[in-house]
Amino acid sequence: MKTIKCIDIEWDLEGAEDMIGKLPEEVVVDLDDVDEFLDDDITEDNSSIIADYLEDQFGFSVITFDYQTLQ
């Protein structure tokens, strides 16, 4: 099991300005929960998959994020 913390998440809130400050800037993600995650390395493809996962969880698109490996 590999876990990462997505940090400095920038959400696409165009047209949903009422959500500013209501979505998390950090989210811990268990990569086993991310169905299409390709391997243990965070690549550009995997970053897109993680961003899609966050969108599914919170209902808003992610513009950018950084991450820290926890396990």
Question: What confidence tens digit (pLDDT) does each residue in 4-16 have?
Answer: 999 999 999 999 9
Distance, CA of 42 to CA of 46 (rounded, Å): 6
Two structure tokens written together for 42: 């965070």
Entry pTM: 0.84
- Domain ranges for the chain, please list them: 3-69
Contact predicate 23/58, CB 8 Å? yes
pLDDT by residue (tens digit) across 21-58? Answer: 999 999 999 888 887 665 666 666 678 889 999 999 99
Residue 57 has what pLDDT? 96
Contact predicate 69/2, CB 8 Å? yes
Residue 1 has what pLDDT? 63
How many other C-beta atoms are found inside a 10 Å radius of the C-beta of residue 21? Answer: 7
